[in-house]
Amino acid sequence: MSLLEGFVSLESMCATCGLLFFCFTLVFSCFSLLVFISRMKPWCNCDVCKSYLTISWSNKFVNLCDWYTHLMRKSQTGTIHVHVLGNTITSNPDNVEYILKTNFHNYPKGKPFSAILGDLLGQGIFNVDGHSWKFQRKMASLELGSVAIRAHAMELVNEEIHARLLPLMASTARAQRVLDLQDIFTRFSFDNICKFSFGMDPACLVPTLPVSDLAVAFDLATKLSAERAMNASPFIWKAKRLLNMGSEKKLKDAIKVVNDVAKEMIKQRREMGFNKRNDLLSRFMASIDDDVYLRDIVVSFLLAGRDTVASGLTGFFYLLSKSPEVEALIREEVGRVAGPGQEFPSFEQIRQMHYLNAAVHESMRLFPPIQFDSKYASEDDVLPDGTFVRRGSRITYHPYAMARMDNIWGPDCLEFRPERWLRHGVFVPPCPFKYPVFQAGVRVCLGKDLALTEMKSIVAALLPRFHIRVVQPDQEPRFAPGLTATLRGGLPVRVSERKC
């Protein structure tokens, strides 16, 4: 056989293998699609599924979460099924405790979730189950629990408040401009979480600086990753990713920017030394060598600490703007605890502000930054309210709906009433399964204390100095689709300086 003949037969062998591979992939994909479709029951004709598919719910409700809440309020068990999505949604605290604690091992994040966020988060804590999660959880709990790290985190918050936030608010007040408070809080929390996680300052809150590439790329990457979940089937986004087209191409480009920044930060740390630094990356570098794993861990923290805090603060100021009496009580408490002549309350003083703590908890009850959170059942199971859960199906707990249940919070559940958290003026911590705003149980949020202190520090710095008024307080909040609750159109406010 000549060399040419050999080459031709090799080429035809490759072509045959390619064809076989293609056929196999096609058959496998069709089979998976059928399994997927059969699980979702796309033919379901029940009222809920019909309303979901025809979007007729939007005739009566502004947001999908409001429609789900309405359905859960009507349900005897507080649990509903959206068959076409293969999703069981619950507002029942007993179910929540069972999923997040009692039978935690049966309810991991699961592959469908990990696939959606996998390109952005890789093997980071947010996106993994099993050993990798356990390892990161242990390491991160140690770090976030350490006194040095907490003190460092609070120094960063203080610095951002005093050097950037207060001057920006003062200049807005002087210029009598309308300000998008949601945007300001997003910039604040991004600066803060980048300094905390990477030891890097993107300076998003400095008005004269161009918007940071990292912030834009990170924003786009989280938005596009979340939009994957809105496709009728994961095969759609997976096919687009394979062909590198449309939103998947944009996502890939955005993730590349995030990766490049992360790589550069890790390289710099290796060159400059990381032993004496307090940012999370430096601390993790002491025990991890793998740069990709380091990148994944730190990017999860960016996601965890950015939009959540911004969303919590936006909801807080929206509610406060409609509750002058609550605002007056917080001001009174900040002035009383901080004492006369003290410019800024210390962290110890902030800890003593029970009414402020109650108000922040109450605002996140009504507007939880993460409105719902899903798990996937590993095995068939029955929830405490009798609901059957099929293996592989999705189960969602819904803090937004839970806040609106009379049987959990009483007949005044729709009211913003910080007093419900106080006994004789002292803050009483919530039952985590009635208030899973920070999740609860085995995988409870690791940044809860940091987030609450950050939020309270910002409120305690802003309220004594400024009147902040929402431009359209009577407009019902409209949420944009995404991983965290974000208001469409932001939160436009007017700011004026108070005479202290």
3-state class (DSSP) for residue 168: helix
Q: Which is nearer to ligand HEM, 221 or 338 (CB)?
A: 221
Q: Which is nearer to ligand HEM, 173 or 181 (CB)?
A: 181
Catalog residues that contact ligand HEM under the rule CB under 6 A. Answer: 125-126, 137, 140, 301, 304-305, 308-309, 312, 369-370, 373, 437-439, 443, 445-447, 450-451
Q: Is the dihedral of CA 48, 74, 109, 309 positive or negative?
A: positive
Cα–Cα distance between 226 and 484 in angstroms, integer? 9
> CA 284, 288, 293: angle at the middle one, nearest 5?
90
Q: Which is nearer to ligand HEM, 179 or 446 (CB)?
A: 446
Give least dist CB 438 to ligand HEM, A.
5
Question: Which residue number has the CB closest to ligand HEM?
Answer: 447
- Distance of alpha carbon 222 from its chain centroid, rounded? 10
- The secondary structure of residue 385, as a DSSP letter, is T
Give least dist CB 193 to ligand HEM, A.
7
Give least dist CB 395 to ligand HEM, A.
13
For 162, phi then psi, to 5°, come to: -80, -40
Q: Which is nearer to ligand HEM, 188 or 301 (CB)?
A: 301
Q: Which is nearer to ligand HEM, 338 or 452 (CB)?
A: 452
Give least dist CB 425 to ligand HEM, A.
24
3-state class (DSSP) for residue 199: coil
Amino acid at 390: R
Q: Which is nearer to ligand HEM, 51 or 110 (CB)?
A: 110
Which structure tokens are listed for 275? 């032993």
> CA 267, 268, 271: angle at the middle one, nearest 5?
90
Give least dist CB 313 to ligand HEM, A.
8
Give least dist CB 24 to ligand HEM, A.
35
Supply the DSSP string of 246-304, one letter for each residue. Answer: HHHHHHHHHHHHHHHHHHHHHHHHHHH--TT--SHHHHHHTT---HHHHHHHHHHHHHH
3-state helix, strand, coil in the chain (%, to 5): 60, 10, 30
Is 46 assigned a ligand-binding role in the annotation?
no
Q: Rg of the chain over CA atoms, in angstroms?
A: 25
- Distance of alpha carbon 230 from its chain centroid, rounded? 17
- Per the annotation, binding residues for heme are 445
